A and B are shown apart, each in its own frame.
Chain A
Amino acid sequence: MIGDFVVKGKYVGAEVDRVDAIGKVTGETKYADDLRLPNMHYGKILFSPYPRARVLHIDTRSAEALHGVRKIITAKDISGNNLYGYEIHHHPLLVGEGQETRFVGDSIALVVAETPEAADQALENIEVDYEVLTPLTSPREAKAEGAYQIHPGSQGNICCRPELIHGDIAAGFKNSEVIVEHTYFTSRQEQAFLETESGVAYVDDSGMLHIFSSLQDPYDVLEDVCYALGIPKSRIHVKGTIVGGAFGGKLITTIEVHLAAMVYLARVPVKIVLDREESFIFHPKRHPDEIHVKVGSTRDGKIQALEAEVLSDAGPYSGRTPEVLGLTVSALVGPYGIPSVHLTGQAIYTNNLDSGAMRGFGAPQAAVARESILDKLAGTLEMDPLELRQKNFLKPGQETLSPVLGDSPVSLELLKDQILEKMGPLPEVSPEQNKRVGRGFCFDMPVFDVSAIPVLGKSGVGIAVEIFSDASACVYAGGTELGQGITTVLAQIAAEELGLPINKVFVEMSDTWTCPRAGRTSASRLTYVLGNALLLATEKIRNTLLSRAAKMLEVSKDELILENGKIKAKGSPSKGVGLQEVATVCSNEGLKLREEGWFKYPEDRYMYGHTFMASAADVVVDLVTGEIKILKLVNIHDSGKVINPILAKGQLYGGSLQALGYALTENLIVEEGKLITPSFSEYLIPTAMDIPEEFVADAVETPYPTGPYGAKGLAEHALNSTTPAILNAISNAVDIDLTTIPVYPEHILEAIRAKETDHQ
């Protein structure tokens, strides 16, 4: 299937070492908290202790009087809008007197002090009178008639209400011989990045504000700082530092607006580092959803109709909720061809923790409901769950229902064959052991953003490349290195295209001063959009170099190739010139050696590309204790050409284990609007002991015609597809319905007992 435009280059497709690895294994890499500035002060935020309360009075006098306290800031000190937020600017930087808090992550005051201890002391000394009000803590309650409006004018506290309709749903159910329906509940998932929100900032002599912080989108931070504080955009420089994990949790502005306000008003450099509890409270989580789904099929397993309603807890602010819920709704269809579909979602504002982006972006919730109901349907039809899926696979050429780019070759059959081969026979346990084995599958169609249009208007995605007279090159890319490896991927492509050894290629990222706008680092988009932009930029530089070399060598440009730091004539290898020599000549002659590439998808609408993904799990369940052991977990993706196989595997393993946590261990509990699991000893992400006994990651590489070297995006995939595979394997082993995650052993015991009681 490999097309001739896909190459196995020296670097592209090879297992190249991460270009940022040495600093990370030696401890030399500087994260935001490792930066120190002269006269640096420490910033702390006073958060609301109540999910909903009216701030009556704030007294900062005793805090201000403390030794070592530089400045206390409240809403009345802010001269800008004092608001920020993605798309809708309704997130207050500081809740002022007379205003209401909307959740426990709302900020009341800011402290700038000489030491962290002095800042802590000042926080304790700020006196705030609150009128405590009853919070809305469930979406049902919040959308009920008469509920108070968390945002004035938001009727029924509705944040958004996406709908996806296709075909005639009534006819679809009429044509169905079997109908099954069920409700699934998914939990609030915490990104649990290890590096908490952090940053440093200062204003330089010329009045330029510099922010260095752990973020996913420097451009969005710049917009927010400008809007909230009224600082001209031309006076703001945002640099994303190397990020210690984000997974969507740093996609909206975190502490940067707070930091900028502190620096501006206290007139000293400031560092903010949230502690773990603050971090857990502060950033938006994966939305907890209630998904009712109903599916109709013929007796031979051809699905005719799919209907679903999603009720999603938006938390207090809009943020990414409309996009996330939009994806949940469209992902309910998955990689299947279904003639009639009616899917609706409602995201409701509450006073709970905020909800927003987390790896998978709404698709994991959808996959839980979709793949669970498919197994239930298979059970009712007495059909093999894999056969049912296969019968309904999206067919090559068939149009997809979600707003995706319809030009991706469908490889579901191939994935199915591969995963069956990798899984091998179902392991056996002897019956006297009181254990049962089960196998579960999930197929998915993870999307990646090809356009980023909502973020960038119609400008597209930019990148810059410069080659220097010493034949070293630098790529300036506005994406952010979160750990996913984009720096390495871009270095590989640039080295390949410019014929340079990879150690002569440097990649500067996430800097609004030096990098053209590239939009957010999310939605598995950077390899595709930045890779394409990079090819456009390197092509221009190649042209310049080759044209100049053609003159030097007195041959036609078309006969020249660029490799290993040399420009050579194709037919006569002796005829060549060093790249350094050509670059020096170009530089001396003033030829342009810094070029920008702008990639823009032809269609001006929000759009995804799609990939394909299959996961399967074998589990053994102990009937006595309910204990679940994952014997084998296989993830296979088709994200087109894989630029770096080691990095790609890392994305699958990592995403898959986050999904295992989502299925079995992770439970962020919020009661009455307050977080009661604010630490890593209460919110349990998997340890090295929790991985499956056999853990496999692999790829099928169907080239994507518009991708760089045929590549698509890859990052979120295994998070979508692993949870349902595990849930279905457990269901399959012990023949029970699972409707709520996380699944604990006692839930299994309860279900087994309930079943036994039913049978008696």
Chain B
Amino acid sequence: MAAFDYVKPPSLESLINDYAQAKSEGAILAGGTDLLVKIRSGLVSRRVLFDINDLHEMKGISDEGDSLRIGAATRICDVADSNVVQSTVPFLSLAASQLGSPQIRNRATVGGNIVSASPAADTVLPLIAMGARLRFGSQGGNREVSIEKFMEGPGQTDIREDEVLIGVVVPKLSNGCKSHFIKVGRRKAVAISVVNIAGWIKTDRTGVIEDVRLVLGAVAPTAIRAGETETFLRGKRPNEVVLKEAARITAGQSSPISDIRGTQKGRRLLVEAWTFRLLQILMTQNEAN
């Protein structure tokens, strides 16, 4: 492993200052499950790592009325097990509970899952579907940006050199919304997603879809909203034909690549198949709240 220094800043303020000073030679160390692998394999090289694990400003889940605030250093297992997440953004907890292995979930953090910017990152999908906003701190002050805008490509984000992700603000699902997350892996646990899908849906009393969000992972340079599908579904009364058509439209919006986990053609088939299944589940699910 390439050698690096380790610093554990005593406060958020000193983290921000030290990190800014280190410029591109510094990295934030949270769970380490992604960063340390990359450092060891030589993909990433940094002179100094700043450990944020004990910074209380960056940890924990707080209920702020219409939204939840989740610290960047909050562990994935805590999101998966959190009662408030389960009851207000259930598909986020579902996604968290399927990320990596139990050992990984006990270390990995929400912030890490976001800033590593993998197109297959499981928690990012429900966060996009909820229109979550990311809060950054820097010497220049705080900045908020929507997670959808933040993601630019595989490993590419809009983050600035001196910025630290402090947390994420996640709007709660409104009453009557139903949500779901599906992970398609090559095995039933500890698998990087070949395709993942998150969505929520809101229907009116007559069963007509008022609003819907559908986010696809691992089939484009970043996780993407299936906007055409959303438009198509709004105002429709879902039946099998409608859902099939929605699934077909969704597959068309994906632009997967072929890699070790799947081919382009195979991924399109999976997107279509699992979108249909996800919508089916959403339509038949009991109301989450």
Touch between chains A and B, by CB atoms below 8 Å = yes
A residues touching B (Cβ–Cβ < 8 Å)? 624-626, 665, 667, 669, 676-677, 681-682, 684, 686-690, 744-747, 749-750
Which of B11-19, B127-135, B155-163, B185-193 participates in binding chain A? B185-193
Q: Which chain A residue lies CB-closest to B261?
A: A682
A687-B188 in contact (CB<8A): yes
Q: What residue of chain B has the Cβ atom nearest to residue A744's Cβ?
A: B266
Q: Are B269 and A750 closer than 8 Å at their CB atoms?
A: yes
Q: List 8 A-B contacts (CB under 8 A).
A: A624-B273, A625-B274, A684-B187, A686-B187, A689-B189, A690-B187, A746-B267, A746-B269
CA distance A744 to B184 in the complex (A): 11
Q: Which residues of B contact A690 (CB under 8 A)?
A: 187-189
A745: min CB distance to chain B, Å: 7
CB neighbours (8 Å) of B276 from chain A are 624
Q: Known interface pairs A624-B273, A626-B273. Does A665 touch B187 (Cβ–Cβ under 8 Å)?
A: yes
Contact partner of B277 (CB less than 8 A), chosen from A624, A682, A744, A749, is A624
Q: Confirm or deny: B32 has a beta carbon within 8 angstroms of a beta carbon on chain A.
A: no
* Cα–Cα distance between A688 and B263 once the two chains are bound (Å): 27
Q: Which of B189, B260, B263, B267 contacts A682 (CB 8 A)?
A: B260
Q: Is the CB of A687 within 8 A of B274?
A: no
| B binding-site residues for A, Cβ under 8 Å | 184, 186-192, 260, 262-263, 265-267, 269-270, 273-274, 276-277
Residues of A within 8 A of B186 (CB): 665, 667, 684, 744
Residues of B within 8 A of A687 (CB): 187-190
- In the complex, residue of chain B having the shortest beta-carbon distance to the beta carbon of A277: B41
Complex formed: what's the CA distance from A625 to B195 in Å?
A: 12
Chain A residues with Cβ below 8 Å from B192 are 681
Nearest Cβ in chain A — how far from B218, in angstroms? 13
* B189 and chain A: residue at smallest CB distance: A689
B270–A745 touching, CB < 8 Å: yes
Residues from chain A with Cβ under 8 Å of B184 in the complex: 745
Known: A687-B188, A744-B262, A745-B270. 16 other contacts (CB 8 A): A624-B276, A624-B277, A625-B274, A625-B277, A667-B260, A676-B260, A677-B260, A682-B260, A687-B189, A690-B188, A745-B184, A745-B273, A746-B263, A746-B270, A749-B273, A750-B266
Cα of A667 to Cα of B274 in the assembled complex, Å: 23
A669 contact set on B, CB distance < 8 A: 260
Contact residues in B for A684 (Cβ distance below 8 Å)? 186-187, 191
Could you tell me if B188 and A746 are in contact, using CB atoms closer than 8 angstroms?
no
CB distance from A756 to the nearest CB of B (A): 13
Q: Would you call B187 and A689 a contact (CB within 8 A)?
A: yes
What residues of B have a CB within 8 angstroms of the CB of A689 in the complex?
187-189
B188, B192, B265, B267 — which one has the most chain A CB atoms within 10 A of its CB?
A: B188
Given known contacts A625-B274, A665-B186, A690-B188, A746 and B260 CB-to-CB distance under 8 angstroms: no
Question: What's the nearest-Cβ distance from chain B to residue A692, in Å?
Answer: 11
Q: Which residues of B contact A677 (CB under 8 A)?
A: 260
Q: How many residue pairs at the A-B interface have CB separations less than 8 Å?
A: 55
A686 CA to B188 CA, complexed, in Å: 8
Complex alpha-carbon distance, A677 and B261, angstroms: 10
Residues of chain A contacted by B189 (CB below 8 angstroms): 687-690
Q: Which 10 A-B pairs have the closest CB atoms?
A: A746-B266, A689-B188, A689-B189, A625-B273, A746-B269, A687-B189, A749-B269, A665-B187, A684-B187, A684-B186
Q: Complex formed: what's the CA distance from A707 to B269 in Å?
A: 53
Q: Which of B184, B187, B266, B274 has the most CB of A within 10 A?
A: B187
Q: Using CB atoms, name the residue of chain B closest to A120.
A: B1
The smallest beta-carbon distance between A397 and chain B, in angstroms, is: 45
For the complex, give the distance between the alpha carbons of A669 and B277 in Å.
Answer: 30
A67 to B187, CA, bound (A): 46
> Which residues of A are found within 8 Å of B277, using beta-carbon distances?
624-625
Q: How far is the CA of A686 from the CA of B191 in the complex (A)?
A: 10
Which B residues are CB-close (under 8 A) to A665? 186-187
Chain A residues within 8 Å of B265, by CB: 746, 750
State the CA gap A676–B259 with chains docked (Å). 10
CB distance from B5 to the nearest CB of A (A): 16
Write out the residue numbers on chain A whose beta carbons fall within 8 Å of the beta carbon of B262.
Answer: 744, 746
Q: Which residues does chain B contribute within 8 Å of A747, judged by CB atoms?
A: 266
Which one of A665, A681, A745 has the greatest number of beta carbons of chain B within 10 Å?
Answer: A745
- Contacts of A626 on B, CB cut-off 8 Å? 269-270, 273
Cα-based distance from A750 to B187 in the complex (angstroms):
20
CA distance A749 to B277 in the complex (A): 14
Please name the residue on chain A nearest to B192 by beta carbon.
Answer: A681
Q: How far is the CA of A667 from the CA of B186 in the complex (A)?
A: 10
**Can you name the residue of chain A whose Cβ is closest to the Cβ of B185?**
A684
Q: How far is the CA of A288 from the CA of B271 in the complex (A)?
A: 30
The residues of B that contact A688 with a CB separation of less than 8 Å are 189
Contacts of A624 in B (CB 8 A): 273, 276-277
Q: B270 to chain A: which residues have CB within 8 Å?
A: 625-626, 745-746, 749
CA distance A185 to B105 in the complex (A): 37
Q: How far is the CB of A645 from chain B (nearest CB, A)?
A: 29
When chains A and B are docked, how far (Å) is the Cα of A677 from the Cα of B259?
A: 10
Bound together, the chains give a CA A688 to CA B270 distance in angstroms of 24
**Cα–Cα, bound, A626→B273 (Å):** 8
Q: Which of B184, B260, B262 has the most CB of A within 10 A?
A: B260
- Cα A110 to Cα B262 with chains together (Å): 37
Chain B: which residue is nearest A680 at the CB level? B190
Query: Using Cβ atoms and an 8 Å threshold, which residues of chain A touch B274?
Result: 625
CB distance from A595 to the nearest CB of B (A): 50
Query: For residue B190, which residues in chain A have a CB less than 8 angstroms away from its CB?
Result: 681, 687
The interface residues of chain A lying within 8 Å CB-to-CB of B191 are: 684
Q: Which residue of B lies closest to A753 (CB)?
A: B269
A663 to chain B, nearest CB (A): 12
CA distance A624 to B240 in the complex (A): 12
Write out the residue numbers on chain B whose beta carbons fall within 8 Å of the beta carbon of A625: 270, 273-274, 277
Closest Cβ of chain A: how far from B14's Cβ, in Å? 30
Minimum C-beta distance from A630 to chain B (A): 11
Separation of A690 and B187 alpha carbons in the complex (Å): 7
- Closest A residue by C-beta to B195: A746
**Which of A625, A688, A689, A749 has the most C-beta atoms of chain B within 10 angstroms of its own C-beta?**
A625
Q: A109 to nearest B CB, angstroms?
A: 19
Q: How far is the CB of B196 from chain A (nearest CB, A)?
A: 13
Chain B neighbourhood of A746, CB < 8 A: 262-263, 265-267, 269-270
Q: Across the interface, name the chain A residue whose C-beta is closest to B268.
A: A746
CA–CA, A3 to B192, complex, Å? 53
Docked pose: A429 CA to B222 CA in angstroms: 38
A681 to B266, alpha carbons, bound, how many Å? 20
CB distance from A117 to the nearest CB of B (A): 8
- How far is the CB of A135 from the nearest CB of chain B, in Å? 20
Closest B residue, CB atoms, query A629: B188
In whole Å, how far is B210's beta carbon from the nearest beta carbon of chain A? 26
Question: Which residues on the A side are within 8 Å of B267 (C-beta)?
Answer: 746
CA of A682 to CA of B185 in the docked complex: distance in angstroms?
Answer: 11
In this complex, what residue of B is CB-closest to A669? B260
* Bound: A746/B276 CA distance, A: 15
Chain B: CB-nearest residue to A681: B192
How far apart are A359's CB and chain B's nearest CB, in angstroms?
Answer: 20
| Complex Cα–Cα for A321 and B191 (A) | 33
Least CB separation from A124: chain B residue: B42
Closest to A677 in B: B260
A689 to B191, CA, bound (A): 11
Bound-complex Cα distance A746 to B268 (A): 9
CB B183 to nearest CB in A, in angstroms, measures 12
- Minimum CB–CB distance for B80 against chain A, Å: 16
Q: How far apart are the CA atoms of A585 and B187 in the complex, in Å?
A: 63
